[in-house]
Amino acid sequence: MKAVVYKGPFSVAIEDVEKPTIQKPNDVIVRVTSTAICGSDLHMYEGRTAAEPGIVFGHENMGIIEECGQGVTSLTEGDRVVMPFNVACGFCRNCVEGYTGFCETVNPGFSGGAYGYVAMGPWKGGQAEYLRVPYADFNCLKLPPGNEHETDFILLADIFPTGYHGCELAQVRPGESVAVYGGGPVGLMAAYSALLRGAKQVFVVDRIPERLDKAREIGAVPVNFAEGDPVQQIKDQTDGGTDKGIDAVGYQAMSQDVDHEEPATVLNSLVQTVRPTGALGVPGLYVPADPGGPDEQSKKGMLLVSIGKLFEKGLRMGTGQCNVKRYNRHLRDMIIEGRAKPSFVVSHEVSLDEAPEAYDKFDKRVEGYTKVVLHP
């Protein structure tokens, strides 16, 4: 079968790889109909992780079940399903408590597993024609048959729940004001989720015109950090700051003049932006080691964060990757009922063969590339 294979920094290729097969009774094989390129994929694509050539990318996957293992009970061949990017067992302590992003079973020696991602277990990615899904009864979310809402449902694999997770970490409530730093796919989903949860005012901080335009389209207030200090811009439009803040950028944050990376700049800006006793949600990715970090401390995953000011203001902070199963059924039903349409963030739909070009353009943020969906 064809798949997107990592070759080295800034290089992926479409190659023929072995088609997955049923290995355990609770497996299913899914014929992939949609799979998305994620900003997290770009960390590997750019050589900013320990990823070795040969990885099949793709942790945002949906499709049609082609084959079921003998132990699968709730699914049948022909079911349309979407999978959380978290691979989870469903029975370990963390899974039972709802922390499926930190499963203790699927990735020995580490809490958490994912498809097609470095250090997240042996699970092949879904930017391919077929995908093996383990613990399928637990990991597959059934969807209505047909092809309606295809580009909405694919976002249930990661970015819609992850954006919602940012709001949950920050405990966004109706009537509150929220600052979202980062207008990429997760940032836009966080802003959208905050509005769905009843926030009265949502700011989205970025510098890329297409992202700021999309923020405006959904009813958020765009803040271009290239035009001045975003903290002051937001304070000028609020009563001294927002109630809540969300970091949807992570460790590759750039300085205000976009001249160099400042990994802690978003965290420190949020500490300044959010009013005393507020809360921060941090779904943006931070890593324990960054080979491309701008200094020796950053390369070790250690950042200079304004912890004194955070303490002084009595701010709370929640972090960690999204436990997708906490949210995906609820968000699926909102899509089905017409209450949510997250596909506004999708800018391009292309074939699997066009993935190398799509990676290049998405990485360079050109031609309006904000979110790319591949159709094998």
Question: For residue 342, which of 320, 373, 374 has the smallest C-alpha distance?
Answer: 373
Q: Going residue by residue through the chain (376 aa), what tens digit of pLDDT does each one get?
A: 999 999 999 999 999 999 999 999 999 999 999 999 999 999 899 998 889 999 999 999 999 999 999 999 999 999 999 999 999 999 999 999 999 999 999 999 999 999 999 999 999 999 999 999 999 999 999 999 999 999 999 999 999 999 999 999 999 999 999 999 999 999 999 999 999 999 999 999 999 999 999 999 999 999 999 999 999 999 999 999 999 999 999 988 887 777 788 889 999 999 999 999 999 999 998 988 888 888 888 888 889 999 999 999 999 999 999 999 999 999 999 999 999 999 999 999 999 999 999 999 999 988 888 899 999 9
pLDDT for residue 367:
80
Q: Within 10 A of 118 (CB to CB), how many other CB atoms are there?
A: 14
Contacts of 296 (CB under 8 A, 6+ apart): none
Query: Please, which contacts does 232-240 make with residues 24 or more away whose CB atoms are closer than 8 Å?
Result: 234/179, 234/203, 234/205, 234/273, 235/273, 237/201, 237/203, 238/177, 238/201, 239/275, 240/275
3-state secondary structure of 311: helix
pLDDT for residue 49:
87
pLDDT for residue 315:
98
pLDDT for residue 48:
87
Q: Provide the b/e sequence for 248-277 (b: ≥16 CB within 10 Å).
A: bbbbbbbeeeeeebbbbbbbbbbbbbbbee
Distance between CA atoms of residues 207 and 256, nearest Å: 9
Q: Give me the residue label for tokens 């389209």.
A: 217
pLDDT for residue 146:
95
3-state secondary structure of 301: coil
pLDDT for residue 203:
98
pLDDT for residue 54:
96
Taking a C-beta distance cutoff of 8 angstroms, is the pair 154, 34 a contact?
yes
Taking a C-beta distance cutoff of 8 angstroms, is the pair 320, 111 a contact?
no
pLDDT for residue 299:
87
Distance between CA atoms of residues 322 and 246, nearest Å: 14
3-state helix, strand, coil in the chain (%, to 5): 30, 25, 45
